[in-house]
Amino acid sequence: MNPKPTYEELEKKVAHLEKALAHCSQEKKGLKRDFSENADGILRVMFDATHDNALLLDLDGTVLAINTTAANGLGKEPDEMVGKNIYDLLPEKVVAVRREEALKVASERRPISFSEETRGIVLDWKIYPVFSANDRVTKLAVFGHNITARKRLEAQLQEARKMDALGTLAGGVAHQFNNALTAITGNIGLMEMDLPEDRNFSRSIEDMKASAHRMVHLTKQLLAYARGGRYHLQITPMRNFLENTLSLVAHTLKPSVRLETDLPLDLMQVKADRTQMQMVISAILANANEAIEKEGRIRISARNVELDAASCKGSMKPGPYVQITVGDDGKGMDEETRNRIFEPFFTTHFIGRGLGMAAVYGIISNHAGSITVESQPGEGTRIYMFLPAIGEKEPAAPDVPRKMIVGQDKGTVLVIEDEPDVMEITRETLKRIGYTVIEATTGKEAVQKALSFAGTIDVTLLDIKLPDMGGAQVYPLLMEARPELKVIVFSGYALDGPAQEILDAGADGFVQKPFSVAGLSETLKEVLKK
């Protein structure tokens, strides 16, 4: 056991500690004095080492030190700036604000920060107080960090999130529209089969088909705008494609509008999503049609061109392209409309604008092409599109329109669909063209019927949205129940996302709602031949 220290021993230890503390205090004062004396030099080293804007000012705003970045931002060299008053070099409208901020830093003895944008450059500024040896604020250290790229990325991210949300909404709305249109177009098809060859009846049916056709194109615009869309690219002979597309949409033009074409026989082929490109041509023609107030002309022409690097935009690469030009002699556009026409939901009184032209821009860009507009008020509008060309300059065989096959195409179809109206028209259509129909409204019910049905099920129409599970979940269960079963994806959405996933997993075909009697019949026939 150690003996307790005596009073004298404790007194000596206290005296020793006091001496050590006094020595430390002296060292601290010395270090503080050395730092204060060398503070300017330390700051200058820091200034030269940073790529940010950096300045050392006295309280009146005189520049004591400045780095190259800050000096160059003011159009000067560092040596030119030292000794100058910073307020003499700032825009007059901000001088009073900056003086007030400097006084605030000195009086409150704490840093402040602010952001400033000049000529498209955004800087995040911080002003720090610099203390002297006697703890007074004698100088100001100013640092400006360039956050232009960050702000741009933040804006892009915000825009992407907004577009993503709008795309999700657009896809959902289009899906509901297509389900409703399925009943309309399906019944029109059945009426064509039932009604007698009467001129008045035929005219009425054609009017209904034209209206339904316009609604279908609207939903295609919405689907084109929906997020996550993947394109179904096909080698497409452009002359045949344009002729077929124009024949479909020509009836939507005003009687007073004349459509002229110049489509050479040697137009090259492109790799394109034909449905999406049909929507592009339809939207542009709708705009041209609306721009012509009385009588007028729309001219669509195409030619093969070779673009060099200087002529390419965005993701375009030098090489052969098909140039499509659509011109009209309508009222034209002012500069604001011309500059904003491809913005989402920018609208004028023209019916065809807004979402349609935003989708047009997106589709052309996703085809690695470009689209530009030339227009002046009172001088009409010309739209130029460029699509990368492939293959030889020889036209392929023209697209042959599908003919409706009516008769005894015997077979059993399992229809998996939860919308009653869609189920009804699908059932009636299938029965008319010779199929036996089994119905299921949920994924679970469909799998149960696939397992329990005693006869042969030749093919299934599989909706991708069901109350209990998605089509992508139902598909492998159907394959497990009946490995030989052929499956056609049946959806109001476009051929992307879940629909494409099911096709990639092995499904045999795709039918988009609203379907035509002829189109559904042809798809069934093709799938059953496999």
The answer to whether 411 and 488 are in contact (CB under 8 A) is: no
The answer to whether 67 and 47 are in contact (CB under 8 A) is: yes
| Proportion of the chain above pLDDT 70, given as a percent | 74
Query: Phi, psi at residue 234, to the nearest 5°?
Result: -135, 150
Are 474 and 429 found together in one domain? yes
User: Is the pTM above the cut of 0.95?
Assistant: no
pLDDT on residue 155: 73
Q: Is residue 130 part of a domain?
A: yes
Are 396 and 416 found together in one domain? no
Instruction: Assess whether pLDDT exceeds 80 at residue 25.
Output: no
Are 307 and 393 found together in one domain? yes
Q: Is residue 141 part of a domain?
A: yes
Output 362 or 388, whichever has higher pLDDT: 388
Q: Is residue 196 part of a domain?
A: no
The string of pLDDT tens digits covering residues 441-469 is 999 999 999 999 998 999 999 998 899 99
Residue 379 is given by DSSP the state S
Which residues contact residue 216 at a Cβ distance below 8 angstroms, ignoring those fewer than 6 apart?
A: 178, 181, 185, 514
Query: The domain spanning residue 388 has which CATH number?
Result: 3.30.565.10
CA atoms of 515 and 520, how far apart (whole Å): 6
CA atoms of 337 and 349, how far apart (whole Å): 11
Instruction: Assess whether pLDDT exceeds 80 at residue 101.
Output: yes
Output 300 or 353, whichever has higher pLDDT: 300
Q: Which residue has the tokens 């077929």?
A: 244
> Which among 174-183, 216-225, 406-415, 505-514 has the top mean pLDDT?
505-514
Region 168-177: what's the mean pLDDT? 66
- To the nearest 5 percent, what fractions of the chain are helix, strand and coil? 50, 20, 30
Output 515 or 42, whichever has higher pLDDT: 515
Q: Which residues of 344-354 are buried (b: 16+ CB within 10 A; e: fewer)?
A: bebebebebbb
Residue 127, helix vs strand vs coil: strand
Per-residue confidence at 81, pLDDT binned at 50, 70, 90? confident
Residue 462, helix vs strand vs coil: strand
Instruction: Assess whether pLDDT exceeds 50 at residue 389.
Output: yes
Strands 112-118 and 121-131: antiparallel
The string of pLDDT tens digits covering residues 264-287 is 999 999 998 887 788 889 889 988
Are 384 and 510 found together in one domain? no
CA atoms of 129 and 409, how far apart (whole Å): 88
Region 90-101: what's the mean pLDDT? 87
Q: Is residue 392 part of a domain?
A: yes
- Among residues 97, 114, 146, which one ends one of the domains? 146
Instruction: Assess whether pLDDT exceeds 80 at residue 511.
Output: yes
Are 300 and 339 found together in one domain? yes
Are 343 and 432 found together in one domain? no
Per-residue confidence at 352, pLDDT binned at 50, 70, 90? very low
Q: Is residue 68 part of a domain?
A: yes
Strands 412-416 and 459-463: parallel
Q: Is residue 189 part of a domain?
A: no
Amino acid at 57: L
Residue 33, helix vs strand vs coil: helix
Residue-number span of the structural domain to which 85 is assigned:
29-146
CA atoms of 496 and 332, how far apart (whole Å): 36
- Among residues 126, 146, 166, which one ends one of the domains? 146
Query: Phi, psi at residue 167, to the nearest 5°?
Result: -65, -40
Are 343 and 424 found together in one domain? no
Query: Phi, psi at residue 471, to the nearest 5°?
Result: -60, -35
The answer to whether 416 and 470 are in contact (CB under 8 A) is: no
The lowest-confidence range among 57-71, 186-200, 509-523 is 186-200
- Among residues 401, 423, 446, which one ends one of the domains? 401
pLDDT on residue 228: 43
Q: Is residue 458 part of a domain?
A: yes
CA atoms of 152 and 146, how far apart (whole Å): 12
Tokens, residue 377: 């008020």
pLDDT on residue 326: 95
Are 236 and 328 found together in one domain? yes
> Which among 200-209, 234-243, 398-407, 511-520 has the top mean pLDDT?
234-243
Structural domain count of the chain:
3
CA atoms of 92 and 101, how far apart (whole Å): 15
Region 312-329: what's the mean pLDDT? 88
pLDDT on residue 171: 63
- Phi-psi bin for 435: left (phi > 0), alpha (psi -120 to 50), beta? beta
Q: What is the DSSP string of 300-349?
A: EEEEEEEE-GGG--TT--SEEEEEEEEEE-S----HHHHHHTTSTT---S
Are 416 and 397 found together in one domain? no
Region 348-369: what's the mean pLDDT? 69
Instruction: Assess whether pLDDT exceeds 60 at residue 396.
Output: no
CA atoms of 174 and 166, how far apart (whole Å): 12
Instruction: Assess whether pLDDT exceeds 80 at residue 403.
Output: no
Are 381 and 463 found together in one domain? no
The lowest-confidence range among 16-20, 410-414, 470-474 is 16-20
Q: Is residue 63 part of a domain?
A: yes
Region 330-359: what's the mean pLDDT? 69
Query: The domain spanning residue 485 has which CATH number?
Result: 3.40.50.2300
CA atoms of 423 and 191, how far apart (whole Å): 18
CA dist 11 → 4, 16, 17, 18, 286 (Å): 14, 9, 10, 11, 102
Are 288 and 392 found together in one domain? yes
pLDDT on residue 353: 40
Is the Cα dihedral 170, 461, 524, 229 positive or negative? positive
Region 120-143: what's the mean pLDDT? 88
Q: What is the DSSP string of 136-152?
A: -EEEEEEEEEE-HHHHH
